[in-house]
Amino acid sequence: MKSKYIEPFKIKVVEPISQIGRKERELILEKAGYNLFSVPADKVMIDLLTDSGTSAMSDNQWAGLMMGDESYAGSRNYYHFEETIQDIFGYKYVIPTHQGRVAENILCSIKVKKGHCIPNNIHFDTTRANIEHAGAKAVNCVIDEAYDTGIEHPFKGNMDLNKLEKVINEVGPENIPFCMITITNNSGGGQPVSLENIKQTKALVDKYNLPLLFDACRFAENAYFIKTREKAYEDWSIKEIAKEMFKYGNGCTMSAKKDGLVNIGGFLCLDNEQMADKVKNLLILVEGFPTYGGLAGRDLEAVARGLKEVLDENYLSFRIGQIKYLGDLLDEANVPYVKPTGGHAIYIDVKKFLPEIPQSEFPAQALVCELYLAGGIRSVEIGSLMFGYKDKETGEDVYPNLELLRLAIPRRVYTTAHIEFVAQTIIDVYNNKEKIKGLKLIYEADILRHFTAKLAPIES
Ligand code: F0G
């Protein structure tokens, strides 16, 4: 199979990839406690750990860095940032933060109290952790199809309106400070949410007078899926679709490290002045003055320019096409992954890839380690290590429905040849998978344990 997509850019600057052998990787992995977060990046050949903050910036963005106005208050780059975001997202109040989770943290610190509940299609792990840190419950209400990795549903990120209404009635609307929709739905496979579903969710939350906020990290990828999969919007521009999506919300949290095409940055948007004032006051305490929010003026400029570039349909068609190409190559060897391919990543279905390793032995993490050993590829586990926990009441281990390995593709970084190398490595590992052993936990932190956990192979 040949790729149908050509890179819609030329390469002006190159960054060498260090090539080390399997023997050296074995030693590195052992030292890292079988956790790829602890492996130095220059010991990785193809880094698919995340699509966050790993984009290649354009010449236009790099030029923008030189236009950085580093004034403490009222930097011209802030006004460009604010105006660009208001134009695309449509919200009046734009508050910069240095990354997405700070926007979540500030929002939760102000709005979320003990005993509250926040529904979402599926919460990303930092969103869940921020909600739980504030003493509240984070509930997932995605449609059931999201949990069946084999079903080809065009909008697997959609909210299940019955589940959402049931949660609202069970906990009472007075205990729900806001509902969220994550576009695209990262933890469920980078799957999009349809505009139809966004409208219906809005109608439902309106019935109970609840605000709706977007986790908008990958909004442009979501908009591209709407354009290509939802007939009513096929003639709309990506910007028009984005504006239409955000019209149904009261604000958003955003990590610009994804669809902002930058290496650092984020923001919180709101339509409510009182709330925005509270946020700005807390921002001054933890991030900085509201016209820079923890970022340099040049960073704000790069975000403003990146947000305009990400709306380009040629870019998005290559971007989504590159992920699909990797999926198509894996299909040729029947490697099981979440269907259809998502917006920023391929999610290997490890319950099907390694059915003989139980979730108590972290099969997805074991596969992460094997891909590193086989090809120097760094991927990330989204399964029993990331989401498993011990139930405080019963003392039993609880495991997530899905056991996934994510190959997140950085934006504008890797070429078709890199993608083909990744596919071939995975296929080779698949064909020799009986050699892979499960892992046991040696150290875990209380929250977000996957970042710092230490593991060891289970010797049989
Ligand atoms: N929401 C979603 C859906 C995300 O995917 C992320 C980050 C965040 C919020 C937090 O943003 O990192 O800027 O603080 N996701 C990265 C990932 C880390 O690898 O998926 P942040």
The pLDDT value given to residue 387: 86
Q: Look at residue 120 in the predicted model and tell me its pLDDT.
A: 98
For 128, list phi and psi in degrees, rounded to 5: -55, -45
Q: Can you give the pLDDT at residue 13?
A: 95
Query: Is the shortest distance between the CB of 381 and ligand 1 below 6 Å?
Result: no
Residue nearest to atom 15 of ligand 1 (CA): 52
Q: How many CB atoms lie within 10 A of CB 252?
A: 27
Say what the pLDDT of residue 104 is. 98
> Which residue's alpha carbon is nearest to atom 20 within ligand 1?
50
Instruction: Please tell me the residue having the least CA distance from ligand 1 atom 18.
Output: 52
Q: Give the pLDDT confidence of 90-100 residue by residue, as tens digits.
A: 999 999 999 99
Q: How many angstroms separate the alpha carbon of residue 122 from the centre of ligand 1?
A: 13
- 281 CA to middle of ligand 1, Å? 24
Q: What are the residue ranges in the chain where pLDDT is below 50?
A: none
Q: 268: CA distance to ligand 1 center in Å?
A: 14
What pLDDT is stored for residue 402 in this prediction? 86
CA 216 to ligand 1 centroid distance, Å? 10
Phi, psi of 170 (to 5 degrees): -65, -45
Q: Contact at 8 Å (CB) between 51 and 408? A: yes
Contact present, 24 and 45 (Cβ < 8 Å): no
Of 225, 239, 237, residue with least CA distance to 88: 239
Give the per-residue pLDDT at 50. Answer: 97
- Probe residue for ligand 1, chosen from 217, 407, 409 as the CB with the greatest number of ligand atoms within 8 Å: 217
Q: Does residue 182's CB lie within 6 angstroms of at least one atom of ligand 1?
A: yes
**CB 217 near ligand 1, within 6 Å:** yes
Q: Which of 430, 181, 435, 221 is nearest to 318 (CA)?
A: 221
Find, among 177, 291, 199, the residue nearest to 244 by Cα: 199
Helices (H), 287-399: 297-309, 313-331, 350-353, 363-375, 384-387
Residue 131 Cα to ligand 1 middle (Å): 15
Determine whether the shortest distance from the Cβ of 343 to ligand 1 is under 6 A: no
What's residue 390's pLDDT? 84
Of all atoms in ligand 1, which is nearest to the CA of residue 186?
3
Q: How far is the CA of 217 from the centre of ligand 1 (A)?
A: 7
Q: Is the CB of 384 under 6 A from ligand 1?
A: no
Binding site membership of 257 for ligand 1 (Cβ less than 6 Å): yes
